[in-house]
Structure 1
Amino acid sequence: MSKRSRVGREMKATWDELCAGDEVAVHEARKLSRRAQAELRVSDAGGRKRRAWRDLRRAAAPLRDHDVTGEHLRAALTELGVEDSTLAYFDQTWAERRSRLLAQTVWPERPRGFDLKSGWRKEARHLAERDGRHLLKQGQAALNGGEPQAWHDWRKRLKRYRYTLELLGQVPPVLTEVLKALGRLQDAELVLALLHAEPALLRYERARLIAREEAARHAAQERVRELFPALTGLFPVQSGD
């Protein structure tokens, strides 16, 4: 039996807030686009709908990256015990940066809903099994000295895998924990990239901020390595693999 996806209705409900740049709406739009990506793989929807949700995700990405980076920078400044005047200056300049970024954002046409085709559960199980084999190899490559992009690509695939499992109502806690660690890893990469690209940004605290994020990156990678043996139990292994 076919099933109507909820992502279109949920996106419609938050669309005005998203276009206004609401921080929560931006975050929700990113999550909805990821859910849609997983659901579209088991639906009869064509490439046009896939592109619509992809375009939305790409449009929201710079704002979401800005918000996440700002959250970590402000938390770090607070943790480092900077003066209130420094925090106030950061808040003002970061808000100004966001306003400029929002003004440059071009939102695509709102993505519409779609139906999951009859037999979507069977297709979801098939995709989860197939993805699992690839994710095992991709994860091993990332852990064995992979570059930041390798970790990031693995995280994106794991997120899609998670949403596929969510369709089936079975998201193992270890997968959630791995994604949490990978999310912190990616956030650290974003902060470090910004600090290296803009030496004048928070220049008096720059060295300490870089050290903090490098430590967070290392801790996140170690956490993933710790969890990886349990994670591999989720992935099917074919004879000859």
Structure 2
Amino acid sequence: MPYCHEHDLRGRWTLRVLALLSAVLVGLVPWADPAAAHGSVIDPASRNYGCWLRWGSDFQNPAMQREDPMCWQAWQDDTNAMWNWNGLYRENVGGDHRAFIPDGQLCSAGLTGDGRYRSMDNPGPWRTTDVGEDFTVHLRDQALHGADYLRVYVTRQGFDPTTRRLGWGDLELLGTTGRYAPASDLLVDVSAPGRTGHHIVYTIWKASHADQVYYICSDVNFS
């Protein structure tokens, strides 16, 4: 078959266009940028990490509304609450957490990120992770920030996460740590006796690299 210069040029242009489109599409995928990585509690899964884990690759599935209504309402409110599950933090708090995070806004870190995470504060049937009275909080530190400390709180018996927003008075401090060197996985052992049913585990992670603090709500079921 004779060589066709025109055919060769068309083939090269087709490949270039496809490569350009691929690059654009990759740029649109919210979780593709490693520079945006920070971290969160992955077990028991934080509210927005759990949503991303279950629906990040299946977000167009209408079953989300029926099977996971709290993730659905978060998705409808601001899709970035799910995509940016590792960016729920505030800066320049100076250690005065209660001054910066008012009651009713603990799960959104005081409406941080221009209110991106406000749906995390909404009470309702959030999916839970089954735990015993002794369990381990596993924080994934994607950016290797390390920690000046972690503080782990659990809601008091009688608090109902399906009907009430979380306030500081609803929490009991059950775990506190010293410094962690930068590592991918930070672990805290917690004992929370006398609890049954649906509770919130509230983790405060003070990163070491800056005055940057993460405020993380995880729903658990004490069985």
TM-score for both structures, normalised by structure 1: 0.24
More helix per residue: 1
TM-score for both structures, normalised by structure 2: 0.25
Structure number with larger C-alpha Rg: 2
